[in-house]
Structure 1
Amino acid sequence: MANSYFGILSSFNHDIQEWKTYKSRINQWFLANEINNTTDPSGKKRRAILLSALSEGTYRLAENLALPKDVQEVPYEDILRFFDIHFNPKIVGFTERHNFYAASQQPGETHSQWAARLRGLTSRCAFHDIEEALRDRFIMGMMPSLEKEKLYAQDITNLTLTKAVEFAENVRCAKSAAIASASTADASAASTSALYKIRSRGKGARSVKSDLPVKQKCKVCGYTNHKASECRYADFVCRECNVVGHLRRMCTSNKVNYVDNGAGDENIDDDGKVFKIRSLRGEPMVETVFIQGMAFKFEIDSGSAVTVIPEKLYKSHFKDIPLIVPHKRLMSYTGDSITCVGTIRLPVYYTNRSHTLDVYVVRDGGPPLLGRDFISTFQLELSSVLSTVNYCQGTLPSVEELQCQFPVLFSDKLGRFTKHKVHLQLKDNAKPVFFKARPIAFALRNKINNELDRMVELGVLKPVDHADYASPIVPVLKRNGTIRLCADYSVSINRQLIIDQYPLPTAKELFAKLYGGKNFTKLDLSMAYNQFELDDESQRYTVINTHRGLYKYTRLVFGLAPAPAIFQRAMEGLIGGQEGVLCLLDDVLITGRDDAEHAARLRAVLQTLQEAGLTLQREKCEFYKDEVNYLGYVINKNGLKKSPDKIKAIVDSPAPSNISQLQSFLGLVNYYRNFVPSAASVLSPLYNLLKKGVKWSWGLDHHEAFTKIKLLLASDQPTSTPKQG
């Protein structure tokens, strides 16, 4: 006989949930069901329950953390320890305080919820006076409202967080009471039948005059079937003025009077009826929600009491979640019974919030529906959704919207490519090469130490006691004063590695995809190479020797000879085949002939990158630009232009005094030789100096060619327009 457990244990997806919270919940679930060291001395049962509750992506993570062992053989306590180490990195005080001071109250978030969320952010801030910091940020981070204005006028001496929350709630309640008292609707208006029949006025319908008195509208929502004091939208936040107590269409701050469209009252019956309601134009209200890290499009249907998905969707994405016997019977508008095969509890992520909903799975269902349970849980204001029903499909999504839809991609964390690990292959005659650590300047020692600590904390570097291969490091001082550590593999392992022959695309091949582009989005991968994991064998070859000892790279690193080709092959495999998408190493450029095409291509690329486990460096990304710098060119809808910075470098170059300097100059010039039709003849004297057996002698003809090519490149030549195909 199967065991009956108390409570429901939801699944864990590390992309949208916190391990610390989930660990506490699963421990409480084990406690409630008496699963402990006595009843489960080996921990096998707890291990099986935990692993079965992991999402697919999190299970893969557990497998990787357990290597070289099989995760199904690792003790339960060890799995917990793996997750603790992985999800609870070393605390960085200023980072935590930045998150605290950057937090602000969200639309729909009550004052109590805002205070509770803020308190949770202080756990790692190490404040000396937590209550004072909480009080200050609570008030400063509040949304613009009457409550905030009145709190700013309070005496700060004796004002605590508790008093501030209580004061704000009192002001809100007083404001709601004032709104309610303004309504003079007759009490009998609320006693009408709970069922409403909505009819569309067709061409043959006659206008019927009524002698009944006109009912006064609710000051909160605008309907006439109840008082404002009984309105269920009384606690909603207006999206026009951000004040609690009314919907946007009843807001007086915008000075626009609401016009009753005569559509009738809303059916507020929650007995499990599923009504498919559409707008007058037949266009569905569609919203994107995230479930277990995947994006789904649902239709919002206020006629449905519950959230519904078809059985086909359940089988394709959630079949591993057991069905629960439904506690409601579902009926259509006509009274016909709808076959419900069961319910599942799913964590739904929407507008930066996550709630667990009971989702009904129906047989032969239509599109997924977000019902009134979703609307109520997420405090969705339908008037704002209705205002976007006729949303122009050609409008480009805002950056904030993209960050919400792809939270992992814009998380500012180091990504991890999930498709495969990188393998470095040695030549047959390869022999271990070990270099001692090079001496470093004392002035750079602390900076190098900080960078080593940072890379270890990120998991890019890992200390080792001994190694067969070791390469010296070259510290490079960046403009901001920090250090970039570069391994000098040119003297060690690069000579013994088999180089991937995957070709990098030429600029001409790339820019052919730009044909017809209107505006441009440029994406930059955060620490691009470091997002690709090395397999265990390859990590042995990447060891660096420092003044603090040996470290091995666990990720692909700049300086390894095969790295560019390996990275390019992977990126081409992900997004190389998409139209209007250019990719050369960590720089991705996206365009389209119109906004709709641009938006569709951008979302497709972002979805692909997120599914592959990669992340972007938000600060370096550029969205919807009329003109961008890419691969040394300035690109706009008219074509390609020369980069002013590169042209300046060419113009300012002194006359070369040897072959090496001449080769460097010609390398710069050749980048833009397509802009000079006669480049070959102009440069001919310079190339003659590079011929075998020619003695170096800089003469007048060389100087004239040198000067002329500079003038031609510096002139305003017509832009080069990429051709299609």
Structure 2
Amino acid sequence: MANETGQNPSTSQTKSQVFFNFEKFDREKILWSRWQKRLESAFIINETPEDKKLHLLLHHIGYATYYNTLCDKLSPDEPEKKNYEDVCKVLIEVFDPKPLEIVENYRFHLSRQLEHQSVDEFAIELIKVALNCNFGTYLNTALRNQFVFGLKNKAIRSRLLEQTDLDLGKAIKIARQMELSDQGNVEIAHNLKERSPVATVSKNDYEQYIGTLNENELKPSDINLVSYTGNGIKVYGHSLLGREWLRVLPFDWNKVFRGEHMVSQIDGQTALNTLKQKYPRVFDAQSMGKITGLKARIHLKPDTPPIFKKARKPAFAMRKRIEIELDELVRNGVLKKVETSEYATPIVPVPKSNDKVRICGD
């Protein structure tokens, strides 16, 4: 049965169900894997047929450059001739490549709370970075440690370092409370205008940042205040030490507020020379130094098989520098040359600015 437009109602309804409005993908705003999950949820809601999913994906993929990238990756095949799952695999490789674990660990351990970040925002950022660090069962401990170490407020960090049985949730809760308290103190200080004849705090601010206000514990005040409109203001308590006392007490308030031991300039070279004289062994260029009298042991689970990884071939231009550095490490007692070993891991040579290399284990 056709309607007035000559279309079959069921056919028109099916077309409207297949096509739907959806936010196009933008890699600057969302990860591909998360956007794909949202798209597939829309498929379920709209009961999208299997044979239409690929074409809807290509339509909603976003910018033309994304489609061009997909075509280049599949060339000489065309995206429209592939199935939905294969195209999604390619797009994940393009937009959500698996990050290098060592790089993500490096980012995680360098994470610091930014000036504009709240403690909650900093915690969320740490959790995002830790996703690809492969911490395993150490994840919660790693997050707690880096959260504490990376806080910008030294007072909050010191408080957390004093806590026993500290986990991430407890650390965030204490830090959040102290942060809100600091913000309240700043707000109160801002409200106490310098040019005001008296310093007052509103009842709401008092109860929010200081404690419950009990009128029965405060003596009646003989101060009469009026607002800008002439209305009377009820005052609780008395000033303990008003500004007028600054003129009466015989103190040099400039010295009190500035302090007698302010450091205006530090001679960096003098400070460095002092450290070198105090700790000569630390700065001895001829020896790296090593711990003696102690022996480290690595405890493994029973029946753990040894792991032996083949060496990677370094760039030809770096081979000589690597050999020199390895010989130096052996000469200083850092490494010991062996002919065979059940365990082995490839090295990662990192170029240094002095034309040498730093040997790291992967």
TM-score class normalised by the smaller sequence? 0.3 to 0.5
Q: Which has the higher contact order (CA 8 A, sep 6+)?
A: 1
Which TM-score applies when normalising by structure 2? 0.46
Identify, as 1 or 2, the structure richer in strand: 1
Identify, as 1 or 2, the structure richer in helix: 2
